[in-house]
Structure 1
Amino acid sequence: MKLEKEIQQSKFQNEFQKLYLNIIYTASWLNLKNTQRLKPFGVSPQQYNILRILRGQYPNSATVTLLTERMLDKNSNASRLVEKLKQKQLVDRCECPEDRRAVNVKITQKGLDLLAKLDVTDEHIQRDLNQITGEEAALVNAVLDKLRG
């Protein structure tokens, strides 16, 4: 659906303003879809992001600093997210032997099992994006990469 209809605005200052608003609106739309997909599993998109990073590090652990650097949402509080995941027994925290001030985080088997279930639901992502072709997806990816410099 066209942005104009979605936000009920027929005129924009220029195509750049429309693009800016379109990116923000679309990111919000995708985030809502992702939140709805994850809700039955009891995790937020930010927690899911932490789990995916930790699965990539597995069987090694990761520092909270590394998690913060790699997170998609840079405004998230990684320490708080790790604590919530620990309460759900999806991750373990331990003191770093080299630096007692640092904390290492490792995904648990329960966390890995949850991600395996969520991997099956990734087909929902494909359905959310099925209006565009693989070539169009590659073009959008290239343009967004260029936009970020």
Structure 2
Amino acid sequence: MNFEEEIQQKKFKSEKQKATLNLIFTSGWLVNRHKEFFKPFGITNQQYNVLRILRGQHPKSISTCVIKERMLDRNSDVSRIVDRLTLKGWVSKEICPNDRRLVDVIISDDGLALLKRMDSAVEKLDSQLGNLSEKDAKLLNDLLDKIRE
């Protein structure tokens, strides 16, 4: 179903307004699909994002400040997310020896194992854009980057 049918509106001030609203709508659609996907794993989108960042750093630790800079949703409360991941045994944290105001976080073996279990399923999640060819996806990425320039 196209965007106009989904929101039951055909009039827009301009194509740019329509594109903006379509981006917001599509973003929400993707976020909801991701939420449903992550539920069976007992993890949220933001927790998954943090674990992926930590896996990229592994075996090194990373501060919560750097995690926040690298997150997809930079409005997330990284300290709270890390606390929840710690309670689940997927990460560990310690005070940074060089700056006691910072907390260093490292992914645990259990966190790595969770991501490994999720990896093949995540490929299916990425296929949400299955109607796009690789060329279409590259064009979309280029256009989205252009918007943020």
Give the shorter-chain TM-score range: over 0.9
**Which aligned pairs between 1:33-112 and structure 2 lie closer than 5 A?**
33-112=33-112
Q: TM-score, normalised by structure 2?
A: 0.97
Deviation at 1:74, TM superposition (A): 1.0
Q: Which amino acid aligns with 1:11?
A: K
Between the aligned partners of 1:141 and 1:78, the Cα distance in structure 2 is: 26
RMSD between superposed Cα atoms in Å = 0.8
Deviation at 1:125, TM superposition (A): 2.4
Residues 82-110 of structure 1, C-alpha deviation per residue, up to 9 Å, x if partnerless?
00100101100111111122110000000
Q: Does the 8 Å CA contact 2:37/2:125 hold for their aligned counterparts?
A: no
Deviation at 1:72, TM superposition (A): 0.3
Unaligned 5+ residue runs, structure 2?
none
Between the aligned partners of 1:97 and 1:104, the Cα distance in structure 2 is: 9
Alignment partner of 1:143 is 2:143: yes
Deviation at 1:123, TM superposition (A): 2.5
Identity of aligned residues (%): 46
Unaligned 5+ residue runs, structure 1?
none
Q: TM-score, normalised by structure 1?
A: 0.97
- How many residue pairs match? The answer is 149
